Amino acid sequence: ERSSSTALREALAEPDFERVERLLGRRYALLGRVRHGLQLGRTLDMPTANIDLHRPLALRHGVYAVRGKVRGRWWDGVASIGVRPTIGTTRCLLETHLFGDCGDIYGEEMVVEFRAWLRPELKFDSLAELAARMQQDAEDARRILSAAA
């Protein structure tokens, strides 16, 4: 297959990470500095490392199984890209929950490598529904990542 920016955008929009990897010659990843957010993930028992997205991505809004690298160590995790419709925000953000205790990583650079699509971004009727779905997403990501190891 001929590698082109159009083919890459199409593969990211599906998302088809096997095709993306063939086109790039590596896994698709984003790099950014972890910043403070609203601390909502922490109150929902799923703290997240937040990275601002400064331009629109070809990658579809939704939830993904990921691996995150911070301070030279890789962690499995689950990430959401989107505008967080349940809380009514409009700025696109990458929020990554890493499995395990990686300590205080605010201000650190983090690589987020996308491994699998889990689901589209959804609006929930309550924070309790959102929290329950986030826990399910984390379990789905753990299962997918452990099967791929």
Structure-token pair, residue 36: 């403070």
Please name the residue ranges forming H helices in 85-126: none
Q: What is the pTM of this model?
A: 0.90
Three-state secondary structure call for residue 129: helix
Q: Looking at residue 90, what is its pLDDT?
A: 66
| CA gap 81, 51 in Å, rounded | 10
pLDDT of 149 > 70? The answer is no
Residues in the chain: 149
Higher model confidence: residue 2 or residue 135? 135
